[in-house]
Amino acid sequence: MYFIQQVSVMTGLSKQVIRKWEERYNLVQPKRLENGYRVYSDTDINALLSVKSLSEQGHSVKRAVQLTKERVTSLETVPTSIRPIQHPPALNDYVFRLLEKGTHCNELELHLILQEAYHALGLSDFLTSVVVPFLNKVGNKWHQKEWDEYQESVSSLVVRDFLVQIRRNFRYREDAPLIIGACLPFEQHEIPLHILLLQFMMKGWKTTLIGASPAPGSIESLVKKLKPAKVILSATTTIPFETDSNLLNSLDQFAVEHPQIDFYLGGTGALDYTKRKKFRAIYVTNSIEDTLITQKNTST
């Protein structure tokens, strides 16, 4: 249960707006403590987030409330085993707590909550239901100017350091196939690669990461030295391609010269930049399943 100040921090809505939606539209029905203070549940917070999201998409608040209530009602009539994913997806208690501590840039508490969630949920659920939703909310809050750069930076760095710690302590077979994950030169966002490589490690791979903004030529040098089975190149922004217009042509030629290695390119920036481009040896994808196809074909 959460007090209204905590709900305001988590949702980005003012306390006045929360009370207004409660009283005018009967959107949520918080419980009252003996002292009269409102306390809100996870369900209440998700309802508020849903209305906020729908209103940002152009719906009136009244219509957004109606759609939210209809969605909740329809879900209640469907067996849990076949219920569709809600939009926006429901956030859990760990994400709410992380958002609260991130607002105040409390690094120690952020780390402790991540540790608690990881041990409680296991790695797979931890990544999909805590790390990814939390980072999405952090990005949204920064883009909408609800958070400043320091709040965004502290929260992201704590998550990155925690994922690095997990990767360092992850056990794998010595004969496991190797995959290299690499940010492109001038690309600063390495967290998506940490998540992807951890997903590969759960599938039996050992991994090596070339982190944020590597020096030109470092990717090719490491690939020659380690001879991995796969290489994943990542660009969340289009900055690498705008900075070096020949970057992809050079990497594609390198991939042609190493046909025994599968090269993949992913990330929002890469997908946007390469919409109408074709490569001889690099496969553009944002799906972990796609990158496993070659391994399956080889095994058969």
CB atoms within 10 A of CB 161: 14
Taking only the tens of pLDDT, the chain with its 300 residues reads 788 888 887 777 888 889 899 888 888 888 888 888 888 888 888 888 888 878 877 788 888 888 888 776 654 444 444 334 344 445 678 898 999 999 999 999 999 999 999 998 899 889 988 999 999 889 888 888 889 999 999 999 999 999 999 998 888 888 999 999 999 999 989 999 999 999 999 989 999 999 889 998 999 999 999 999 999 999 988 999 999 999 999 999 999 999 999 999 998 889 889 988 889 999 998 776 666 654 433 333
Three-state SS at 124 = helix
d(C-alpha 141, C-alpha 144), whole Å? 5
Q: Are residues 255 and 261 in contact, defined by beta-carbon separation less than 8 angstroms?
A: yes
Phi, psi angle pair for 124, to nearest 5°:
-60, -55
CA dist 198 → 130, 132, 171, 226 (Å)? 14, 13, 11, 19
What the chain holds in terms of domains, given with CATH numbers, is 2-82 (1.10.1660.10), 93-168 (1.10.1240.10), 171-299 (3.40.50.280)
